[in-house]
Amino acid sequence: MKTLRFGIEIETVGLDKDGVARAIAAVLAGTARQGMGGAWEAVGADGRVWRAVHDGSLSGYRNAEIVSPVLGYDDIEKVQEIVRALHAAGARADASCGIHIHIDGARFDAKELTSLTKIIHKQERLIEAALGIQPHRLARYCRPIDPAFIERIESRRPRTVAEVNAAWYGRQVFSPARYDQSRYHAVNLNSYFYRKTIEFRYFEGTTHAGKVKAYVQFCLALAAKALGAKSASSRRREYNPATAKYDFRVFLLGLGMVGDEFKTARLHLLARMGGSAAWKGERRDRRTPPSNEDQPVVEAPAMSA
């Protein structure tokens, strides 16, 4: 997962595009400038450009969608610094905001694409509950994986990207449009066919640096799991609120999110889940020692990681 490249789009309200660009430029020891079409840009000392652009879906007149350049795993801490700086400058997230994470699709072929969608489809009820996705976003901007797509890849077993393309759209689409309506699924493969990135749209907006880091690590771990999978099942996992915390923790550990490096990510991703992280069922086996992850998660102030 640490070799995969990614990009992130963070939607905020409460701060104009120029204010967003200046806050980012200060973190990057760079400069802010006005770009094309009313956008603002923050150019880092390394030459990479972060953009603050208009998004008509955001509430209020002071808002911005922040679009990162291509990033690597070592850039996650810098992303956190930027999120903290935006919060300090007055940027906030409300119900209109979301976070979209793009994973570089260069290493994904038909097998990897189908493995990824099957892995996620199997656990999607858990993922949706863990991330607390608002009903209006589930219904419109980040719809679940299309069951018809899953049926097509299960019945046709695509061996080429072209065959995955036909399964995704229901027909072969040789020149996908950037704003094709199929992009409004939580796992957006239209982005892959349009520009070779896999977009994850699950995440509610936030200016909490620790949550942003958790979301990035989660997407990278999912992608890495698909790249290494010999096979995958798409059979939907039954969702049980009483054991959800345990079930999702097992899933995260299976993705490789093990140890202290991912401890904060596990805390954030498990915070909304019911039950215990340490045991399955309503009563704990007395031989099982309590886990730190059984304790309620108290969200840190927005400035902290």
Read off the pLDDT of each residue in 95-105 and give the average, rounded to a whole number: 97
Token pair 């006005």 in the structure block, residue: 34
pLDDT at residue 118 greater than cutoff 60: yes
pLDDT in tens, 63-85: 999 999 999 999 999 999 999 99
Averaged pLDDT for residues 25-49: 95
pLDDT for 162: 97
- Residue among 220, 202, 204 nearest 124 (CA): 202
Q: In the prediction, which pLDDT does 285 show?
A: 47
What is the 3-class SS of the chain, one letter each residue? Answer: CCCCCEEEEEEEECCCHHHHHHHHHHHHCCEEEECHHHCEEEECCCCCEEEEECCCCCCCCCEEEEECCCECHHHHHHHHHHHHHHHHHCCECCCCCEEEEEEECCCCCHHHHHHHHHHHHHHHHHHHHHHCCCHHHHHCCCECCCHHHHHHHHHHCCCCHHHHHHHHHCCCCCCCCCCCHHHHECEECHHHHHHCEEEEEEEECCCCHHHHHHHHHHHHHHHHHHHHCCCCCCCCCCCCCCCHHHHHHHHHHHCCCCCHHHHHHHHHHHCCCCCCCCCCCCCCCCCCCCCHHHCCCCCCCCCCC
In this prediction the pTM is: 0.90
User: Which two structure tokens, joined as six digits, stand for 248?
Assistant: 């999702």
Residue 10 has pLDDT above 70, yes or no: yes
Residue 215, pLDDT score: 98
pLDDT at 294: 46
% of the chain beyond a pLDDT of 70? 92
pLDDT at 282: 55
Residue 267's Cβ-side half-sphere holds a number of Cα atoms within 13 Å equal to: 19
Query: Does 299 have pLDDT greater than 80?
Result: no
Predicted pLDDT at 292: 52
Which whole number is the average pLDDT over 228-240? Answer: 91
pLDDT of residue 61: 86
Measured CA to CA, the distance from residue 191 to residue 133 in angstroms comes to 21
| 96 token code pair | 């209109």
pLDDT grade for 229, boundaries at 50, 70 and 90: very high
Please report the pLDDT score of residue 275 as a whole number: 86
Lowest mean pLDDT among 132-141, 180-189, 288-297: 288-297
Closest to 304 in 3D by CA, of 181, 178, 213? 213
Closest CA to 198 of 65, 126, 135, 107: 107
- At 274 the pLDDT is 87
Q: Tokens 């020149």 correspond to what residue?
A: 175
CA atoms within 13 A on the CB side of 76: 24
Mean pLDDT of 4-31: 97
What tens digit of pLDDT does each residue of 256-298 get?
999 999 999 999 999 999 888 888 865 554 444 555 554 444 4
Task: Round the average pLDDT of the chain to a whole number and report it.
Answer: 92
State residue 278's pLDDT score: 83
Over residues 104-112, the mean pLDDT reads 97
Residues 104, 70 contacting (CB under 8 angstroms): yes
How much is the pLDDT for 254? 96
